[in-house]
Amino acid sequence: MRFPMTVLRAVTLAPALLVSFVLTAVVCALLPPPLGLVAFMAACGLLVALALGQLQEPAVAALTRSRPATEAEVRVMALVLVELGGRGVDVGALFVRRIQRPSTPVAVAIGRRSVVVSPGLVEATYRGGVTGAEAAAALAHAVGRRQAIRPRLELAVLAATTPWRLMVATFRGVGRAFAWLPFMRLAWTLRGVVGVICAVQSVVEDRAWAGLLGGAVIALTYLVPAAGRRIELHAEAEADRFVLSLGLGPVLAGLLRRYGHPMTLERMQRLQTAVEQPQRPRLHLVHG
């Protein structure tokens, strides 16, 4: 069953925005009243400024933990940016991540024509491990992902949901720390059964609101990841088609294959598909 992208985005964003607002309100309430009011108003002012398109570069740098590319890095990526410009893809500002981890994306398009790349991509391009065409394909794929999702008020939403992401990262860290305990994975797998039992027990004890609230929270642990996976699959497919339309599909497939990136057979075939170019009209010479 296919769901509209707006519904999937709402499922993933609504809990994040709600939890972030509650956490922000709680933190501001714990501060001294004047300081809490100033902090809350400053946060609201920042979100309004981002929604109006202000503070783009510092916001991108702070939210992605990156920095503007240095002159040396710009020189390395200059041919890549020229390659993209020749294919109709305009990159306005280039940022480089400050820290690279195994899960760090190679390139992410964000804000107004800004692209954030990993330092590994810049170094590999400089050393020749990644060709200019391959780097251009990676950046084009990032641009295609953003075009597929078309996020509204992207930087404002990212800033507003920062408390949610911090909370999720904390819980994931705690979960990894206690993953060695017996039956932890089984308990997480059976959380739906436990939720149903708690909801029924709460209704029997005339505490239906508590049971419904707990059931809703447990249901979100299924719905939010599922919606996120649907969005990722859609964005990946659309970005692959965008790269393919630029004539860089086989180049991207070769890059992913060489670095051992997992790919389904469907995606490999999609990237290797040749794009039919429109036939040019033939010029006939007429001899008198």
131 and 192 co-located in one domain: no
pLDDT tens digits along 124-147: 999 989 999 999 999 999 999 998
Residue 100 lies in a domain: yes
Question: Is the pLDDT higher at 182 or at 279?
Answer: 182
10 and 144 co-located in one domain: yes
- Nearest CA-CA partner of 134 in 215, 193, 80, 60: 80
Task: Give me the amino acid identity at 38.
Answer: V
Residue 157 lies in a domain: no
% of the chain residues with pLDDT over 90:
43
Domain that holds residue 217: 182-274
Determine the pLDDT at residue 188: 76
24 and 100 co-located in one domain: yes
Q: How does residue 158 score in pLDDT terms, banded at 50, 70 and 90?
A: very high
Determine the pLDDT at residue 278: 43
Residue bearing tokens 């404002």: 156
pLDDT tens digits along 103-126: 888 999 998 789 999 999 999 999
Residue 175 lies in a domain: no
Residue 222 lies in a domain: yes
Residue 164 lies in a domain: no
This model's pTM is above 0.95: no
Q: How does residue 1 score in pLDDT terms, banded at 50, 70 and 90?
A: low
**Radius of gyration, alpha carbons of the chain:** 24
126 and 193 co-located in one domain: no
CB 133 within 8 A of CB 248: yes
Q: In the 8-state DSSP scheme, what is residue 152?
A: S
pLDDT tens digits along 46-70: 999 999 989 889 999 999 999 999 9
H or E stretch including 242?
Answer: helix 208-245
Distance CA 274, CA 123 (A): 31
Distance CA 180, CA 183 (A): 9
Domains in the chain, number = 2
Residue 136 lies in a domain: yes
Q: How does residue 73 score in pLDDT terms, banded at 50, 70 and 90?
A: very high
H or E stretch including 252?
Answer: helix 249-258
Residue 168 lies in a domain: no
pLDDT tens digits along 243-286: 999 989 999 998 988 888 888 888 888 888 755 444 444 444 44
187 and 57 co-located in one domain: no
Beta strands in the chain (DSSP E): 66-68, 93-97, 107-110, 114-117
CB 11 within 8 A of CB 227: yes
137 and 201 co-located in one domain: no
104 and 22 co-located in one domain: yes
Residues with Cβ < 8 Å from 19, sequence gap 6 or more? 163, 164, 167
Residues with Cβ < 8 Å from 286, sequence gap 6 or more? none
Domain boundary among 128, 149, 170: 149
Three-state secondary structure along 10-72?
A: HHHHHHHHHHHHHHHHHHHHHCCHHHHHHHHHHHHHHHHHHHCCCCHHHHHHHHCCEEECCHH
Average pLDDT over residues 70-96: 91
Residue 16 lies in a domain: yes
Distance CA 59, CA 111 (A): 9
